[in-house]
Chain A
Amino acid sequence: MKILAMDTSNKALSVAIVDEGEIIAELTTNIAKNHSVRLMPAVEQIMKEANLQPSELDKIAVAKGPGSYTGVRIGLATAKSMAWALNIPVVGISSLQATVYQGRFFDGVVSPFFDARRGLVFTGLYRWTNGKLVLQREEMNVSMEAWLSELKASDQRVLFLSPEIESFRSMIKDALGEKAVIPEAPFHIARASHLAMIGMGETADETHILTPNYLRLAEAEAKWLAAQEDSQNNG
């Protein structure tokens, strides 16, 4: 089974082709620039080098967020349309979950996170148990400060993985000290080959229904809902 995987949900852009569990090609850049311009040329390049025609693909895996709203949509519009046109299944995978695969052999809990601005992060808590990934805490949009104090309350060692790790390093170390484990740079970037591996085993999404996992309402909608609530409480 040949699976094409793509991730444009955060700073890095990563595409891969995996065939029967073997990585055929992978291309990752980490320059936060113009995913819209660079995604398809990257796909085209690895397909060409792997000597594959689009019609030979069996499945598509895509990182569905959380992350940059625009970045996530670039990936999903591409993956859904391609899967629909080729009439093959598509599967959307949490961008946080893909990142956790970078901590595959860590014996403890893993907190992948993405900067969500204004002191907030998109995060969740995972643990590898007998080679299986178990979700410990639902993915959420939370203040980093609150999240760290919650983690501090338990006595577990926590592996932090994030493309924005440097902006949060001192904050994490101040809160958790030795309990916080922060690896070197290469471990913080999700790889499309991992997406493909996860996607291989997952049941496909209904192509038309697959939507980004924003983890947050659009700002206008949140404000509108708050205003509705206000007028209900005051009315």
Chain B
Amino acid sequence: MGEFIMTKDIYILGIETSCDETAVAIIKNGQDIVANVVASQIESHKRFGGVVPEIASRHHVEQITLVLEEAFAKSELSWDDITAIAVTEGPGLVGALLVGVNTAKALAFAKQKPLVGVHHIAGHIYANQLQQPLMFPLLALIVSGGHTELVIMKAHGQFEVIGETRDDAAGEAYDKVARMLNLPYPGGPMIDKLAHEGQATIDFPRAWLDPDSFDFSFSGLKSSVINTIHNAKQRGEQLENADIAASFQESVVEVLTKKTYDAAIQYDVSQVIVAGGVAANKGLRTSLTKAFEHTNIPLAIPPIHLCTDNAAMIAAAGTIAYEQGKRAGMDLNANPSLPLEQ
């Protein structure tokens, strides 16, 4: 008999409930999506104009076993095939996170499987691994309703935050401006759409902060949009919503693009990846693509369904954590302000 070492496939069950998506996925060997189910609550939160944490938590507990069942049905796998369970432990809405964390612990105990806690942002970054392998050192721009961060990774599982927002997240600014323009929730994609119909005629400020800082700030821009709309109204002028959207978007995108570009050059990275819900923004995608097309640094942006919250990305990040020997105990808790760097 020849010596033949079978390398067993690793199947990770991922669970994500940090905000308003109840999501379960199964990923093979950290890169192949076997099942990826997302139950969105957008319709429930629409009437409130934003995510209501208590209602999000209520939906998660109603949906979780249904989503689990659907994921298993799609995968055609059984529990015997599952290597380990990965769950978002933070950051996010605490009540929402708790449903996922307690579900994951119950499953890990019932089926005697290893458990791994995953940072939500690590998940967003690893969404890219579902498309192609990560190349180190890499720079990740994470932009979502809760985050605007620039992260350097020199190896798997190592994160160094080199810049972050000092006030609002980019997605938060989008949602607030959308509300001022009376656009329906969720406002971000609506502004993106509207921006393409208008002209950037208004010169909104760009917050560059200190010349060598990779931090962001969007609250000044937000106030400027409010004042501009308010002043125009007082003068009896009518501003085109599409022009406001285009001007606002241009300001946000310009800052995000410039800081990402500068960081990529300064840190001499092998790859730039974009992650988070705002990575779905067409204006941002176009601008970043343009900025990097003259360089030899490849730019990776996952498809839209992997940019928004999902559990495939959690399982992908969870696979690396599992392989690196990280394990969570039955005392794993939700941590709404979990740091990325550890």
Interface on A for B, CB 8 Å cutoff? 34, 36-41, 43-44, 54, 69-70, 73-74, 76-82, 84-86, 207-208, 211-212, 214, 218-221, 224
Residue contact A82 to B106, C-beta cutoff 8 Å = yes
Q: Is B182 at the interface (CB under 8 A from chain A)?
A: no
- State in angstroms the CA–CA spacing of A41 and B331 once bound together: 6
Q: Does B294 contact A (CB under 8 A)?
A: no
What chain A residues lie within 8 Å of B112 (beta carbons)? 54
Residues of B within 8 A of A77 (CB): 60-61, 64, 98-100, 102-103, 106
Listed in ascending order, the chain B residues whose CB lies under 8 Å from chain A are: 47-48, 52, 54-55, 57-58, 60-62, 64-66, 68-69, 79, 95, 98-103, 105-107, 109-112, 329-334
CA distance A220 to B111 in the complex (A): 38
Shortest distance between the CB of A178 and any CB in chain B (Å): 41
Closest-CB distance, A35 to chain B (whole angstroms): 9
13 residue pairs from A and B, CB less than 8 Å apart: A36-B98, A43-B330, A73-B95, A78-B103, A80-B61, A81-B107, A82-B107, A84-B69, A85-B106, A86-B110, A211-B61, A212-B58, A220-B55
Verify B98–A73 contact, CB threshold 8 A: yes
A224 to B215, CA, bound (A): 38
With a cutoff of 8 Å between Cβ atoms, the chain A residues found around residue B334 in the complex are 36
List B contacts of A84 (CB < 8 A): 65, 68-69
- Least CB separation from B61: chain A residue: A73
Report Cα–Cα, A77/B67, bound state, in Å: 13
Closest 7 CB pairs of A and B: A40-B330, A81-B106, A85-B110, A82-B106, A218-B54, A77-B102, A81-B103
* B99 A73 Cβ-Cβ under 8 A: yes
Contact of A81 among B62, B110, B329 (CB under 8 A): B110
The 8 Å CB contact of A76, one of B61, B66, B79, is B61
Q: Is A81 within 8 A of B64, CB to CB? A: yes
Bound Cα distance A54, B106 (Å)? 10
In the complex with contacts A44-B109, A76-B61, A224-B48, A208-B69 CB distance below 8 A: yes
Known contacts A73-B61, A80-B64; A40/B98 CB under 8 A:
no
Q: In the complex, which of the residues B58, B65, B103 contacts A218, with contact meaning CB atoms closer than 8 Å?
A: B58
Q: Which of A43, A44, A214, A218 has the most CB of B within 10 A?
A: A218
Closest to A86 in B: B110
Select which of B47, B58, B64, B102 is within 8 A of A74 by beta carbon: B102
A78 contacts B58, C-beta separation under 8 Å: no
B113–chain A nearest beta-carbon distance, Å: 10
Residues of B near A73 (CB, < 8 A) are 57-58, 60-61, 95, 98-99, 102
Chain B residue numbers with a CB within 8 Å of A224 are 47-48
Contacts of A39 in B (CB 8 A): 102
By beta carbon, the residue of chain A nearest B15 is A81
Tell me how far the C-beta of B102 lies from the nearest C-beta in chain A, rounded to whole angstroms.
Answer: 4
Most buried by B among A79, A84, A219, A221: A84
A69 surroundings in chain B (CB, below 8 A): 54, 57-58, 95
Nearest B residue to A76 via CB reads B61
The interface residues of chain A lying within 8 Å CB-to-CB of B61 are 73, 76-77, 80, 211-212
Chain A min CB distance to B110 (Å): 4
